[in-house]
Amino acid sequence: MEQKFRILLAKPGLDGHDRGIKVIAAALRDAGFEVIYTGLRQTPEQIVEAAIQEDVDAVGMSILSGAHMTLFPAVMKLLKEKGAEDILLFGGGIISEQDAKKLQEAGCGRIFGPGAPTQTVIEYLKDTLPGRRKRESIL
């Protein structure tokens, strides 16, 4: 069976602008991904707990409120604490190039600006995800 990638999409922070994340959710579904959408106003703790329970390959976060420099690092830190830093964290929203660069340097995946074509996001995930999760022996 072809490998299925599972993506958790979440909106942390207080803003309710979910147009972008819903468009991405639909586009990823149509590109063959299994998308778990957790809805609005998720705390970093909720997002990381869901990512672990759902054993996803990547977490995508959309932030338009300006709180990205607080929320992305918070999620990264929690993923690390839970030993799940092999889960890719990527995102989008109203995020300046400087901030995006800082986040990427800190270990975050790509940050997509407004109007990024859905195809770009799909290709990025298809390129980045294979072989990314660490392999552990099960038995």
Partner 1 sequence: MSDKFDTKVETKGDSKEIARAFAEAKRKWQEDSENSKLKLNRKFTTVSMEEVNPLYTPEDTGGIEEVGPEYLKKLGFPGQYPYTRGVRPNMYRGRIWTMRQFSGFATPKETNRRYHYLLKAGQTGLSVAFDLPTLMGYDSDSPRSAGEVGVCGVAVDTLKDMEIIFDGIGLEKISTSMTINAPSSILLAMYCVVAEKQGVPLHKLTGTLQNDILKEYIAQKEWIYPPEPSLRLIADIMEFCTNNIPKYNTISISGYHIREAGATAAQELAFTLADGFCYVETGINAGLDVDDFAPRLSFFFNSHLDFFEEIAKYRAARRIWARRMKEKYGAKKELSLLMRFHTQTAGCSLTAKQPENNIIRTAYQALAGVLGGTQSLHTNSMDETLALPSEKAVTIALRTQQIISEETGVVNTIDPLAGSYYVEALTDRLEKQAEDYFDEIDRRGGVLKCIEEGFFQKEIADSAYHYQLEIDKGERIIVGVNGYVHEDEKLEIPILEIDESVARDQIAALNKVKEERDNDKVQRSLGELKKVIKTNDNHIPALLECVRCYATEEEIVNVMKSVFGEYVEPPII
Partner 2 sequence: MTVLDRFYKKDRSALSRIISFIENREDGYLELLSRIYNISSNSYKIGITGPPGSGKSTLVDKIAIRYLEKGFSVGIIAVDPTSPFTGGALLGDRIRMQDLASRGEVFIRSMATRGSGGGLSEATREVAIALESYGFDIILIETVGVGQVELDVAGLCDSTVVALVPESGDSVQTLKAGLMEIANIFVVNKADREGSGRLVSELRLMLESRGQKQKEGWILPVIKTEAINGVGIDTLTDKIIDHRKHVENLYTQSGYREKRVKSELITILDRKIRARVLKELLEDNSVDSYVKQIVNGESDPYSITEKLMRKITI
User: Where along the sequence are the contacts to partner 2 (CB under 8 A)?
Assistant: 1-4, 6, 25-26, 28-39, 43, 45-46, 49-50, 52-55, 82-84, 136-139
Cβ proximity to partner 1, 52 vs 122, nearer residue: 122
Cβ proximity to partner 2, 76 vs 95, nearer residue: 76
Are residues 89 and 124 in contact, defined by beta-carbon separation less than 8 angstroms?
A: no
Binding of residue 36 to partner 1 (CB under 8 A):
no
Token pair recorded at residue 48: 């990381």
Nearest-approach distance from CB 66 to partner 1, in angstroms: 4
Nearest one of 82, 35, 32, 29 to 59, comparing CA atoms: 35
> Which partner, partner 2, partner 1, none, binds residue 13 by CB below 5 to 8 Å per kind?
partner 1
Integer CA distances (angstroms), 99 to 11, 12, 22, 35, in order: 18, 17, 23, 27
Are residues 42 and 94 in contact, defined by beta-carbon separation less than 8 angstroms?
A: no
> Which partner, partner 1, partner 2, none, binds residue 66 by CB below 5 to 8 Å per kind?
partner 1
Nearest-approach distance from CB 101 to partner 2, in angstroms: 31
Beta bridge partners, 91, equal 61, 111
